[in-house]
Every structure is written in structure tokens, then in C-alpha cells.
Structure 1
Amino acid sequence: MRPTLSTAQFHALARRIADYSGFLLDGGRHRSLESALAVRMEALGIATTAAYLQRLDDAELHRLTELVVNHETQFFRTPAHHRALREQIIPAFHRERPQALALRCWSAGCSTGEEPYSIAISALEVLGDPPQRPVEIFATDISSQALARALEARYRGRALTNVAPGELQRYFAREPDGAYLVKPAVRSLVRFEQHNLQEPFPAWARALDIIFCQNVTIYFSVETCRLLMGRFYDALTPGGYLVLGYSETLWRIFDRFETVEVSGAFVYRKPVPRVVAPRPTPPERRVMSQTPAVRPARRHSPPVSRHGSTPPPVDHLEQGLALLRAGALEQALTELQRVPVDHARYPQALAAIARIHADRGEVDMAAAEARRAIELDPLTHEAHLLLGMLAANHEDWDEAVRHLERVRYLDPTGPLPSFHLANAYRGQQRRDLAAREYRSALRKLEAFEPTAMLDGVTVAWLRETCQRYLQHLERDQIHQR
């Protein structure tokens, strides 16, 4: 029999996992935590949930956490960031630093190894094989199971989607079963180690040039993320880079890094302290130089056209939202990922990105992105709507109602919040409230043509569905009498 967790037990256990690993589980992960619980209870021969919870020591908490932490990744998962590595970041380091100085990188939350091996391949592409300078890539993860797969270094299928054919030939060996084995030249640059980012950093985590930590902090609370960023900042050398995932932003979280655009990708850089030279005493007679003075460019200055006017900025958010409404998910994602992380409407862009991940079946990532959007701006109703729908899909009706009631407050004229809230009330068996919201949705739908599309369905379908559920609710009320 599959073990069950009460709502109170789920939240208590989720808090323990968050305190241990930083990884937040929302109500949508209730069933996945029960599944992990079933695996561990069977392994230990424990019959009841209560007995397991009594036995949950630190070692067992680690094993349980391994089962619920997301390990989905692939090589060159964010191609723009690796293009920035190859075109500017590594070449500049190689050009400006002594050749005996090692390039030191950390893949924090390396999962099954695709990320650190991708960094190693990018380094070899720039520095040659063998590299013209020492390269040290440290790779850590909380999961010993993920690290075992990383050390095995065998990959196939979706993990290799972004690997160019030439790189596949140079850096991988095809095996008889169709899998690809990472070659020794790449593996020799990477050192794997188990590490929990909540714990003190290893001794080698200092004077680092590059830290990759992608799609890890999106699952953390803002406060946990803020503390981790401070430690990353201290671990980087001045001028070093922190590379986060597209959906991760330090806006309103940590402001000591500089946000810079490198080869079309946004990354964070630890500022280099400025040394101000003493101003020389002006000579009595000044001789005009024939060389024009070079003035430092103003930061964030927009480009000026040859006619002297500033070109209109590209509104990547509006373009992305329009593409999303048209169903062009990949093009929409590309546009939305170009929205600067300090943009005033970045939370809305993040909510739209979350919706795309949900449509692609990447539910955990979608929920994490939606939560982060709300943490950045609690009034992001699109994020509340998505979390409400995800909770409803898991039949977590209390969580669904909590988010959907907030959406109805933030978007009082929208028919979709009323429709989804009515469904959630019906799931809670609160029939009167469900009937009220279905009627409210019908009133709001009167402003739309029957053929209009709302969230991928026609207005006519929404009206018919509301009317059908209202009839069911009315019949139920008659039978109850």
C-alpha cells in the first residue's frame, strides 16, 4: 500500500528538506514526495509513515532528498552562456592573465555531469587540446546518485541535443549500445565532489574565475538565495563571473554583482576595485596632444544612430507574449529570455517563461519559476494563476484555491480566474461557491466573441463547460434535498 502524507506531515517534511538542502517543495510536489517516501520505506522495511518519520535522521533525510531533487539537464543547456564563454570570457582570461595561472571554474549543482563537461569542452575549444594553460573545473552536487552517473560519463538521447556534430566526434566515443562516452581529454579537466550548498564551501572554493549555478537557486527561497549569493561573491576573484539560469535573477535579491551582457547572454560579474591614480600637478604650459582623448563610456548608455536619435528599444516582453499567445513556444521563450533581469516587468516575463515550461511538461521548473516571480512581485497574477492550475492538476484543492482567489482579486474582470476557481471550489465540495464562480465566469465571457481564444480554448467551449457544470451542481442540490 502506497504511504500517504497528511497536509501537516507534508509541510513539516518539506520544511526539513528545505532546511537541509535549500530545496523548496510546494503543494504540487505532494505526490512526488509520497512516491519518494514509498521507495525509502520499502528499502528500510518500514510499514507506516509515522514509523518512518520517527526514524528520519540526517543520513536518511539525505537519501530522501536525493529522490525529490530534480536532476533533469543536458549538454550546453543554455547555449548563449557557452557562446559567451567561448567568444569573450575565456579568451579575455587567456589574453590578460599569466599563462601559468589556471582557469578555475565551479559547476555548483552539477547534477549528472552535463554542465561541467560542457564547460570543459568550451575550454578545450578555446585553449586547444591539450589546453595552453591549466584548467581546473570543480563539479559538486548534493546527490551521490547523480554524481555516480556523472563519473560514468555515458550519455544518450536528449542530453546530447545541443552538441554540435563536430564536437560529438571530437569529445565523445560512440559505444556499441549507441551511448556516447565522454573522452578522457574532457574528463581529466573535471573533479567531482559531493557537496550540499547549505554547508560551508570546500577549501578549493576561493579565487574562482567562473561559477555556473544553473536551475538550482530557482528552487530556493529568496533568503536562502541571498545568503548563497553572498558566499559565491566571496568565492569569486574580482572580475569573475557568476552564470545563473535564464529564469534566475538577483534583481531585488543581491545587488553587489554587476549585470553584464556578454555575447547576447546576461551574466553577473564581481566588480574589479578601481584604483584612482593621484592627479598630476598641471604644468604651467599645456601642449595640445594630436591624439584625441578617449572617454570612458557611460554605463547603460543607449546606442545613438548616425542621425543623432536614439533607436526605439526592442520590447522583447511584448514580442514574447504575442508569440506565446500564437502558440509559438520556442520563439516566445527566446524573446522572453532576452528581457533584462532588472526590467520593471521581469516578473511577468518570468511567469510567461514558467507557462512555457508547464506547456512542455517541465512542471517542477514551471512551479519554481512562478514562485520566484511572486517573490519578486507578489502582484504577478499570471504566476498565481499558473500555480493554481498546477495545484488543481494534482488535486491539491486548498493550494489551488489559495492562488486562484488571489488571481481573482488581482484580475477581477478576467473570466479564466473565475472558471479555474470554480473548478477548485468544486474539488473542495464547496458547491455554492463553485456555482457562484461559474456564473461569474459566464458574465465575464459575455464581453468576448464565441470564437475568441482564451488560453488555448474558445470562449464557446468555456461557456458550454460552465453551463454544464452549473447543471450538475443544481442536480446535486436537488438530490441532497
Structure 2
Amino acid sequence: MLKISDQEFQQISQYIRSQYGIKLGPEKRALIMGRLGSTLVSRGFDSFTAYFKYLLADETGDGVFELLNKITTNHTYFMREAAHFMFFQEKVLPWVKAVSPYDARIWSAGCSRGQEPYTLAMLMQDYFGHEKQRWNTQILATDISAQALSAAREGIYPAEEMASLPEKWRNTYFQSLGDGRYQVKLGLRNELVLRSFNLMNQHFPFRKPFHAIFCRNVMIYFDAPTKKQLVQRFRQHLAPGGYLFIGHSESLGRDNEGFRYLQPAVYRKE
């Protein structure tokens, strides 16, 4: 196993913290070596210094995305934390329909391979029904990884990842590729606006406020100051009364100024 020096660990940890808000304390040193060692060897790097230079030079973001996947334990699948989707359908969409006719603005921040925004798109298709053609319901779906966004754009998933979806949705919104995989039909794929975006950007270039922002299981690795700053930027870009969804293992804590707690991991802008 390749060893990581004090200087190399400091370089990587400071880079990850400054660019992506994730804090890697000294206790994570063994984790870095264990989870990245085989990656470095398979890619032909002879040191963590060479690997770090590769991360800095990689303009696609795929290298960093792979690194973040290695050092975190996020899992993405359809209908994850299903109570959120029920709340979205039963509470958020009726409110949106009442306050913003024909324009529903939803952001899936940290969309990974697309399961979350596609689930939201199916919910909106069902909710608006025959009125759907009158509505702008495209979902902004962002991630830092070109690889993840490419997978979301293709919308291809193995059958086992489809198990949690209602049969009606599988039949209506997916087509079988005949090899144990299914692809989201083009009409639903067009409901996503996929963009590369780093949540650590100080400026969010959005002209209109969102009715709901989903940022689930992203902030769990952020330190408190980084999380607080991000939450306040979310608040600035939410419409009055807009909703913020975070992961069930996350919390805004007691210092959630400007948000009212509604139920686990669901907050509303005051």
C-alpha cells in the first residue's frame, strides 16, 4: 500500500476542504490510504503527490468525483427517503400550484446519477396530469462530476435499482433495453436541465428563486461554518415560503435562522 506523507495528506485535505467543504481530520489519514491506495496503483501513480497533481489538472471533475465517492459513503437510488417525496407531492406541489401558476422551480443539488430528479419529475407528471403541458416543470439537476451528469443524461439503470419504483412508473416512464437495464424515456429525460455546479461557489447565478431545493446527504461531511454558509445561500435563492430538503442524517441544528422545521429533514423559509 502506498504511504501518504504528512505534507501529502495536508495538501489533499486542504484542497478538499477549500473546494468542496469536506473536512478531513487527522483521523481520516488511514481511510485515505486504504480507500485510495488501490486506485493510485491501478492508475499508475507512484505517490500521492503525483495523484494530487492529477486532481489539479483534471478539468472534467471526474477525478475529484471518484475521490469524493471513495472517502464518503453516499448511496443513491430511486425513492430514497420516500417520506420526502410524499411530502413534496402532498404539500409542496399544491402550494406551488397556488402561488406560481404554470412555473414550478425545483433544484436537485448534488443529483449524482439522476435518480432523485427523475423521481421528482415523475411525481410532477402524475400530479399535474393533463395540465402538465401548460406548466414549466423542468428540474435543475446539478453535480460536480461530468461522469455523473453523463450517466444522468443517459438515464440507464439496472433492474435492481428499479425495484422500489411503482410498477406504473416503470411501465410509463422507462423502456427495457433487453439486457436487464432500463432507460428513462426521452420525454422524461427532457424534464431535467443538467448542469455542472460546485456548491462551494460563492455566487449562485440563478435569476429566479426556487420553490424547493433538494440537497440531501451532501452536507453531512461539511464542517459547521461551510454548512451554515451554504444553507444561507440556499435561503437567498428560495422563494418566500420555499422548502429545503436535506438528508435524514443531516440537520440545520439550532442555528437555523430563517427556516422553520416541519418534519425530519424538511424546512421552510420564513
TM range (shorter): 0.7 to 0.9
Residue 169 of structure 1 and its aligned partner are, at CA, apart by 1.0
Q: 1:109 to 1:56 in 2, by over 3 A?
A: closer
Residue 58 of structure 1 and its aligned partner are, at CA, apart by 5.2
Counterpart of 1:103 in 2: which secondary structure? coil
Given residue 154 of structure 1, which amino acid in structure 2 is its aligned partner? I
Residue 73 of structure 1 and its aligned partner are, at CA, apart by 0.2
For this pair of structures, how many residues does the alignment match?
Answer: 261
The aligned residue for residue 199 of structure 1 is 201
The aligned residue for residue 109 of structure 1 is 110
Q: 1:61 to 1:125 in 2, by over 3 A?
A: closer
Residue 23 of structure 1 and its aligned partner are, at CA, apart by 2.7
The aligned residue for residue 121 of structure 2 is 120
The aligned residue for residue 67 of structure 1 is 66
Given residue 183 of structure 1, which amino acid in structure 2 is its aligned partner? K
Superposed, 1:14-413 pairs within 5 Å as 14-25=13-24, 26-27=28-29, 29-30=31-32, 31-40=34-43, 42=44, 46-53=45-52, 57=56, 59=58, 62-70=61-69, 72-94=75-97, 96-100=98-102, 102-128=103-129, 131=132, 132-204=134-206, 206-261=208-263, 266-271=265-270
The structure number with the bigger radius of gyration is 1
Residue 63 of structure 1 and its aligned partner are, at CA, apart by 4.2
Q: Which structure ranks higher in relative contact order (CA pairs < 8 Å, sequence separation ≥ 6)?
A: 2
Give yes or no for contact 2:16–2:22 (8 Å, CA) kept in 1: yes
Residue 92 of structure 1 and its aligned partner are, at CA, apart by 2.3
Give yes or no for contact 2:55–2:64 (8 Å, CA) kept in 1: no
Q: 1:49 to 1:216 in 2, by over 3 A?
A: closer
Given residue 159 of structure 1, which amino acid in structure 2 is its aligned partner? E
Given residue 75 of structure 1, which amino acid in structure 2 is its aligned partner? F
TM-score by length of 2: 0.87
Given residue 92 of structure 2, which amino acid in structure 1 is its aligned partner? I
Give yes or no for contact 1:106–1:138 (8 Å, CA) kept in 2: yes
Q: 1:223 to 1:90 in 2, by over 3 A?
A: same
Tell me the distance in 2 between the aligned counterparts of 1:55 and 1:134: 41
Q: 1:51 to 1:177 in 2, by over 3 A?
A: closer
Give yes or no for contact 1:155–1:181 (8 Å, CA) kept in 2: yes
Q: 1:53 to 1:155 in 2, by over 3 A?
A: closer
Counterpart of 1:203 in 2: which secondary structure? coil
Counterpart of 1:209 in 2: which secondary structure? strand
Deviations 1:53-91 (A, max 9, x none): 466535379443211223630111111000011112102
Tell me the distance in 2 between the aligned counterparts of 1:178 and 1:246: 31
Counterpart of 1:3 in 2: which secondary structure? coil
Tell me the distance in 2 between the aligned counterparts of 1:225 and 1:205: 23
Give yes or no for contact 2:142–2:196 (8 Å, CA) kept in 1: yes
Tell me the distance in 1 between the aligned counterparts of 2:203 and 2:163: 32
Residue 218 of structure 1 and its aligned partner are, at CA, apart by 0.5
Counterpart of 1:176 in 2: which secondary structure? coil
Residue 160 of structure 1 and its aligned partner are, at CA, apart by 2.0
The aligned residue for residue 4 of structure 2 is 5
Counterpart of 1:57 in 2: which secondary structure? helix
Unaligned runs of 5+ in 1: 272-481
Residue 162 of structure 1 and its aligned partner are, at CA, apart by 2.0
Counterpart of 2:168 in 1: which secondary structure? helix
Counterpart of 1:135 in 2: which secondary structure? coil
Give yes or no for contact 2:60–2:146 (8 Å, CA) kept in 1: no
Give yes or no for contact 1:22–1:220 (8 Å, CA) kept in 2: yes
Give yes or no for contact 1:36–1:64 (8 Å, CA) kept in 2: no
Tell me the distance in 1 between the aligned counterparts of 2:169 and 2:62: 36
Residue 93 of structure 1 and its aligned partner are, at CA, apart by 1.6
Given residue 83 of structure 1, which amino acid in structure 2 is its aligned partner? M
TM-score by length of 1: 0.50
Given residue 210 of structure 1, which amino acid in structure 2 is its aligned partner? A
Deviations 1:244-280 (A, max 9, x none): 111110013432211113xxx5511111xxxxxxxxx
Q: Please, which moves more after superposition, 168-177 or 224-233?
A: 168-177
CA RMSD, Structure 1 to Structure 2 (Å)? 2.4
Given residue 179 of structure 1, which amino acid in structure 2 is its aligned partner? R
Counterpart of 1:138 in 2: which secondary structure? strand
Residue 129 of structure 1 and its aligned partner are, at CA, apart by 5.5
Residue 115 of structure 1 and its aligned partner are, at CA, apart by 0.7
